[in-house]
Amino acid sequence: MKALAITDKGLEKVALLELDELIKVKGKAEECVVVFNCKSFQDLFKFCYFGQSIERVLLLFDSFSFKNLDDLEKKLVSSLKKIKLKDWFSKNTTFKVECKRMGEHKFGSHTIEKELGKNIIEQVDKALGFTPKANLESPDAVFYVFINNKKAYLGVDFAGRDLSKRQYRVFSSPGVVNANLSFAIIRLAGYTGKQKMIDVYCKAGVVCIEAALYVSNTSVNYYSKDFAFKKLKPFLKKDWDAFFKKLDSKRKTAKLDILGLNSMLRHVEAAKKNSKLAGVDKTISFSKMDVEWLDTKLDKSSVDIIASRIPCPSKHVGESVVRKLYKELFYQAEFVMKKAGIMALLTERTGLLKKMMTPGFKIIKQDKLWAGKQSYEFLIIQKI
């Protein structure tokens, strides 16, 4: 059976990594999605539960390109005819249609939701002999349409919510990127749990927390097991307590060599509180420290990875301030990092960062990553 995971642009490669690791499946990347053949529903449940780079997971009914609104609506109706509606509807089943669009269109998501919802009611009535009830607040089944420019995907939503939103992120800080992007930083840096990793601008601690959740085999949904798949008709009798208990039994609690640093106490306190809410406060550390003090607190050549979302010149932070930060960062990294160590740095613009890079380092990878409509530049810099 075909399935689809929706992610942010640039994170498709990370979602493919997770597919392979979590359910031993190779997928195909398209812009903002990965399409894959799933071996079982159990695998889809597991991918929803553990995925850290994804926003939604769908059982995929159909995908197609379209020219305009009329063409889209006709093809959605055609796609509905391929669905075995009796698998998803009983007389008591409620449903809703949800649509997300990426790109520029001359129609809104509400238009698609309304029209497809009407067609589902007509098709169910015709095929099964009863009229299903729509429920926009708490439906049993969500039929999800994802539209990216001129490509559309239709499926049933197994997540039921935006999986990029973490419940542990109660305490925030200005400039913090979302959790999926934070996870992507550490995965693209090659972090496996065996290295010493530090975040020198940890803010709310999200990069460190995502790294700890990943290597400790702790689901980001450990404290939030509310998924749409639990309400779907085929799975109503499943023992969900036993299912999640089995997955959680592989959780690890060993101390990790992950350190988050920030010069402002309020950011450090926010990070500590968030890590406690995520259940990883005993495995990682946070400390109030300015970058310029790294060589006094850390041993020479002791750090494998520096993974950070760093500032860049803006209307809030002047270039002279950022220039000083970059100079200090490379100076300190020269001392604390191991040879061939990696700096995985995310920022809005990397022009100044490249200019400030010292001879002891080289750029080995450049990429562009998104969080919604916000684009970032990502550099992997290696100590020579």
Mean pLDDT to the nearest integer, 228-236: 98
State residue 9's pLDDT score: 97
Q: What is the CATH number of the domain that holds 93?
A: 3.30.2130.30
Q: How far apart are CA 49 and CA 47, in angstroms?
A: 5
How far CA 209 is from CA of 53, 176, 276, in Å, comes to 14, 13, 10
Q: Is residue 237 part of a domain?
A: no
Percent pLDDT > 90 in the chain is: 97
Contact (CB, 8 A) for 48 and 83: no
Mean pLDDT to the nearest integer, 196-211: 97
- If you ran DSSP here, which 8-state letter would residue 322 be given? H
pTM: 0.96
Transcribe 114-153 into DSSP letters.
Answer: HHHHHHHHHHHHHHHSS-PEE-SSS-SEEEEEEEETTEEE
Contact (CB, 8 A) for 379 and 364: no
pLDDT (tens digit per residue) in 44-70: 999 999 999 999 999 999 999 999 999
- Whether residue 101 sits in one domain with residue 183: no
Confidence category of residue 273, pLDDT binned at 50, 70, 90: very high
- Whether residue 183 sits in one domain with residue 129: no
Confidence category of residue 172, pLDDT binned at 50, 70, 90: confident
> Helix 179-188 crosses helix 12-23 at what angle (to 10 degrees)?
80
Contact (CB, 8 A) for 157 and 113: no
Classify residue 237 by burial, with Cβ atoms within 10 Å: 0-12, 13-18, 19+. Answer: exposed
Q: Is residue 168 part of a domain?
A: no
Q: Is residue 226 part of a domain?
A: no
Contact (CB, 8 A) for 85 and 122: no
33 has pLDDT over 90: yes
- Whether residue 146 sits in one domain with residue 191: no
Q: Report the mean per-residue pLDDT for the chain.
A: 96
The residue count for the chain: 384
344 has pLDDT over 90: yes
Which residue type occupies 4? Answer: L
- Whether residue 187 sits in one domain with residue 136: no
- Whether residue 263 sits in one domain with residue 209: yes
- Whether residue 287 sits in one domain with residue 351: yes
- Whether residue 378 sits in one domain with residue 261: yes
Q: Is residue 309 part of a domain?
A: yes
Host domain of residue 131: 2-157
- Whether residue 355 sits in one domain with residue 211: yes
Tokens of 237: 């009798």
Total domain count for the chain? Answer: 2
- Whether residue 332 sits in one domain with residue 274: yes
pLDDT (tens digit per residue) in 84-140: 999 999 999 999 999 999 999 999 999 999 999 999 999 999 999 999 999 999 999
Q: What is the CATH number of the domain that holds 327?
A: 3.40.50.150
20 has pLDDT over 90: yes
- Whether residue 139 sits in one domain with residue 15: yes
Q: Is residue 183 part of a domain?
A: yes
- Whether residue 136 sits in one domain with residue 196: no
Collapsing DSSP states into helix, strand and coil, what is residue 159? coil
Q: Is residue 231 part of a domain?
A: no
Q: Is residue 228 part of a domain?
A: no
- Whether residue 288 sits in one domain with residue 206: yes
State residue 173's pLDDT score: 83
pLDDT (tens digit per residue) in 294-343: 999 999 999 999 999 999 998 888 999 999 999 999 999 999 999 999 99
